[in-house]
Structure 1
Amino acid sequence: MTLSVGDQGGTSSHYKIFANIFISFIGAGILGLPFAFKEAGLYEGIIVMTLVGFFSVKAMLVLIDCRAKIINDATGSGKVLSPTTMDSAIDYGEVGFYAIGPAGKWLVEVSIIVSQLGFCCAYLIFISENLHNLLSLDFPSLTKMHYLWIIIVPLIFLANLRQLGSLGTFSIFAQMANGFALSVVFWFDMKHHHLIKTHIKTVSFDGLPFFIAFSTCCFEGAGLVLSLESSVVPEMRNTFRRMFKIALVVITGLYLMFGICGYLSFGPETASMITLNLPQDIFPSVVIGCLCFSLFFTYPVMMFPVSKIIDKMLCYPSTGGATDHALSTIMRTCLVFLTAVIVTQIPNFSNMMALVGSTCCVLLGFVLPGLFHWKLFSRETKGVTMVIDILLIVVGIIAGIVGLDDAVKRIWVNSANDTISGT
């Protein structure tokens, strides 16, 4: 639940603040980090991951500064923030509207829609491919395509739930399953990395664009940072920045350890998803099952903001601006089918994550925060602050161009060999 500005409810514990930030940032992308290190090499990966983490923190903190300025300006002048919102929370889209007008809000919302759909596609790839890998001996006639369409049916039902509270119980179990599974995979990597006999790549500039795009995807939290800050009780918001920095340092360290250990365990044989490298024994199968369960119930949560944004965009004139339940149901069902169709065309997990990272995540995570902050503080911004804004914009644009070029090439090369309709 997103709290409105000035809401007296919210999180009042440092532990809960840290936990909320941690849970919000640890996603399925971590499972592809060992492969990303395989592509870029150890040294290069460590440097790039650290830099991406640093710039991501800077970008998300300037968004908080932007909202603070909007609140202060509106409080002093009584200015309306948007034609359609008077008392609602000032989210990322509202910051964009106040900074550069309707185009800013449109850019944010479209980027969120596309990025969330991309993550949903990545979840479908993970679930279908791992189920096929686990059950191929028991059901040899079923392909990855069959598993994809089998899970689509219940996901359509879940995506049509209008309240996230309906998924509350499943979400709790999903988070527990995710934490357990990632811990076991991490333990497995730590236990077996000394067995690798092959040469480990230290630096590979050919893999640099891919690693930049993939790591940006892992740190994509710009759309959540304002909600996370709003969820803290007002009297403790002055501590949020410090807790946020601590959490992101821990998360960056976890990303580095998970990626490095996974790559050291399997070397050149590291798969696009580390779970595909696990042996087909009972315990690893349980772990993979937990991850599939977690991502299955995370899918409708990721789809929820997409549906809400599109509902508002459509406005359904026949109902006087209210949401038409039947039309909304059709829209949500079509979105689920759309993700399935996209997966049939881009069935590789790492390629999907890199594509999302080099487009929407770069835009949301670097370019737009720098642009919005620069516009809002144009009369006050000087020296180092202006340099940071410009640096965020320039770094984001360059990372997006080189990452997108690499992602498209990888998708083109792999399209004939790595298809979900194959064996």
Structure 2
Amino acid sequence: MLAAREQGQDNPRMLHNFIEFLYLYGHFAGEDLEEEEDEDLGTPTIDEEQGPLLEGADTDEPESQLIHRSVASLKPSERTPLMSRSMSQSMSQSHASIRRRRRQSVGSHGDATVTQAVLMLLKSFVGTGVLFLGKAFYNGGMLFSTVVLVVIALVSLWSFLLLVHAKFAVSGSFGDIGGALYGNWMRQLILASIVISQLGFVSAYLIFVAENLQAFILAVSKCKHLVSTTTLIFAQLVLFIPLSLVRNLAKLSTTALVADAFILVGLVYLFSMEANVILERGGVADIKWFNEKDFPLLIGTAVFSFEGVGLVIPITDAMREPRKFPKVLTGVMLFLVVLFGGAGALAYAAFGSSINTVVLKNLPQDSKPVQSVQFLYSLAILLSTPLQLFPALRILETALFVKSGKTSLRVKWTKNLFRLFVVLGCVVVSIFGAKDLDKFVSFVGSCACVPLCFVYPAMLHYKAVAKTRFQKGSDIALMVFGMAAAVYTSIQTIKLMAAPSGPSEPLGNCTPPQPGSGNGPDSPFWPGAGLF
């Protein structure tokens, strides 16, 4: 791709679309998260490569003239270094000024079509959440889960639209809008919530990959080798750490393309297998219409699945006609209701009370196609994890580091060590959450995602747009609903996490360990366990 660009050739259209998709994470929640050290005159960044996405930015002076004037003002001589500290700082300030003016321009927009916006939204929403919905339906019951999922989807859509209308009224990022309307404390609160939610996603992804790889290794070794989830979580660092140090998102375009291809293949195969199970049985498995014990877990998982508020503003900015985005978003959300609702109901109907948190583990583990899908889906999520981590890293780095690492090797390596520390923090959290993945996912959704999805957009719309009594009343109602849902579901999830665990989930065709039996997956007496 880079070679083609150097030779003056266009990128393949598919890769071009994926770079546009990665642009969204470089401007997550509308924030400018690109690093200054990547933005020199010789190395284009996603922002420069994807200029059409932001064509029409209303600036008083062409960017090339701004950069030329800032460099020319340094008056270099033959003895002047090619890149002095002052030149680097001046160029960084010029780029920062350009980006700030571009982002805050009310009239700025991109050239993404409606079709491209639809594809970007689908890529943003479809990931691991769809695989957790089968267990979520078990936790809530078939009827209750169906109703709640539709309600959560509609409330999420309503909230996203409130944020879009607030964006139309007040330019800037999610945090900028909050800061303009309520003060800096609101901006910091929004950014903190984004960081917490993204780190929660990363931790959940690490657990997901570890559990799938555990089942995969058990299957291919015919139950002779059981690797603990803790070991597999640490093993992911071999790939995760190098990818987390990547600062130019364009370099992740290939991994993002591969990951989405694997996810698509995995979902198609999973749905076909679930339908086949129901047909062969001649009906659905044992199901409940309502599960009075575990239903709070459903709410958090549903919010986790529909969480995508961080990409609402960048996709709006990327569109050629931003005013069409509400209709585009509405259509996509209605499709996702069918997709997610169908996925959860189909999985629960196929496997009933025996369903695993990750439904892939319910498929025949001795099947080679199942093993292939399990491995490829795990690899896809592992390759997607750095993309989820990127916004949190950049928000934290922007808050903690003033200087760029372009002119200071010490600053650059300090940032690298900081990234390593954050990654290890996610690993520690995932190890503690691995015991009950479904409860951990629900907790992330309840505690971190609910305020972002429901409370903050309503607060912004209330102050920026709401004029009538109905608008103000509905905004207040959404705020109260969001806060009540966050508090109630978080408390209930914590109680369920603290309760004694029931029987362990089946490990494919292998005998599942029982709590307190001394013969569990971490026991050296596990039948055929290798030294892992």
Structures share fold, TM-score greater than 0.5:
yes
Query: Contact between 2:297 and 2:442, CA under 8 Å: does it hold in 1?
Result: yes
Q: Superposed, which structure 2 residues align to 1:144-293 within 5 Å?
A: 144-194=229-279, 195=281, 198-233=285-320, 236-280=321-365, 281-293=367-379
* 2:481 paired with 1:395: yes
Percent identity over paired residues: 23
Give the match for residue 61 of structure 1: 161
List per-residue Cα deviations over 1:240-270 (Å, max 9, x = no partner): 1111100100011101000000000000001
* 2:111 paired with 1:10: yes
List per-residue Cα deviations over 1:70-110 (Å, max 9, x = no partner): 13xxxxxxxxxxxxxxxxxx221111111211111111111
Aligned mates of 1:7, 1:382 — CA distance in 2 = 29
**Helix, strand or coil at the partner of 1:32:** helix
Aligned mates of 2:463, 2:360 — CA distance in 1 = 44
Aligned mates of 1:317, 1:231 — CA distance in 2 = 29
Higher mean alpha-carbon deviation, 400-409 vs 193-202, is at 193-202
Q: In the superposition, relative to structure 1, how do residues 197 and 253 fare at CA in structure 2: closer, same or farther (>3 Å)?
A: closer
Name the amino acid aligned to 1:70: V
Give the match for residue 411 of structure 1: 497
1:359 to 419, 437, 447: 447
Query: Contact between 2:285 and 2:350, CA under 8 Å: does it hold in 1?
Result: no
**Helix, strand or coil at the partner of 2:293:** helix
Q: In the superposition, relative to structure 1, how do residues 320 and 245 fare at CA in structure 2: closer, same or farther (>3 Å)?
A: same
* 2:380 paired with 1:294: yes
Aligned mates of 1:255, 1:298 — CA distance in 2 = 20
2:207 to 125, 135, 145: 125
**Helix, strand or coil at the partner of 1:212:** helix
Query: Contact between 1:209 and 1:399, CA under 8 Å: does it hold in 2?
Result: no
Higher mean alpha-carbon deviation, 260-269 vs 208-217, is at 208-217
How far residue 326 of structure 1 moved from its aligned partner, in angstroms, is 1.1
Aligned mates of 2:500, 2:246 — CA distance in 1 = 36
Give the match for residue 315 of structure 1: 401
Aligned mates of 2:236, 2:445 — CA distance in 1 = 25
Name the amino acid aligned to 2:128: A
* 2:458 paired with 1:370: yes
List per-residue Cα deviations over 1:118-157 (Å, max 9, x = no partner): 1111111111111111112526153222211111122111
**Helix, strand or coil at the partner of 2:190:** helix
Aligned mates of 2:200, 2:500 — CA distance in 1 = 18
Gaps of 5+ in 1: 72-89
**Helix, strand or coil at the partner of 2:246:** coil
Give the match for residue 150 of structure 2: 50
* 2:122 paired with 1:22: yes
Gaps of 5+ in 2: 1-22, 28-53, 55-102, 505-514, 524-532
Name the amino acid aligned to 1:35: K
Aligned mates of 1:105, 1:219 — CA distance in 2 = 23
How far residue 197 of structure 1 moved from its aligned partner, in angstroms, is 6.5
Query: Contact between 1:344 and 1:421, CA under 8 Å: does it hold in 2?
Result: no
Q: Which has the higher helix share?
A: 1
Q: Which has the higher contact order (CA 8 A, sep 6+)?
A: 1
Aligned mates of 1:274, 1:382 — CA distance in 2 = 46
Q: In the superposition, relative to structure 1, how do residues 321 and 264 fare at CA in structure 2: closer, same or farther (>3 Å)?
A: farther
Aligned mates of 2:469, 2:284 — CA distance in 1 = 51
**Helix, strand or coil at the partner of 1:206:** coil
TM-score (normalizing by structure 1): 0.89
Give the match for residue 184 of structure 2: 102
Aligned mates of 2:418, 2:166 — CA distance in 1 = 33
Query: Contact between 1:346 and 1:411, CA under 8 Å: does it hold in 2?
Result: no
List per-residue Cα deviations over 1:339-372 (Å, max 9, x = no partner): 1111111113212210111111000000111112
How far residue 320 of structure 1 moved from its aligned partner, in angstroms, is 12
* 2:136 paired with 1:36: yes
Name the amino acid aligned to 1:355: F
Give the match for residue 74 of structure 1: none
How far residue 415 of structure 1 moved from its aligned partner, in angstroms, is 7.0
2:432 to 319, 340, 345: 345
Query: Contact between 2:278 and 2:284, CA under 8 Å: does it hold in 1?
Result: no
Aligned mates of 2:384, 2:286 — CA distance in 1 = 37
Aligned mates of 1:113, 1:181 — CA distance in 2 = 29
Name the amino acid aligned to 1:296: L
TM-score (normalizing by structure 2): 0.71
**RMSD across aligned positions (CA):** 2.3
Aligned mates of 2:406, 2:274 — CA distance in 1 = 57
Give the match for residue 195 of structure 2: 113
How far residue 49 of structure 1 moved from its aligned partner, in angstroms, is 0.6
Give the match for residue 77 of structure 1: none
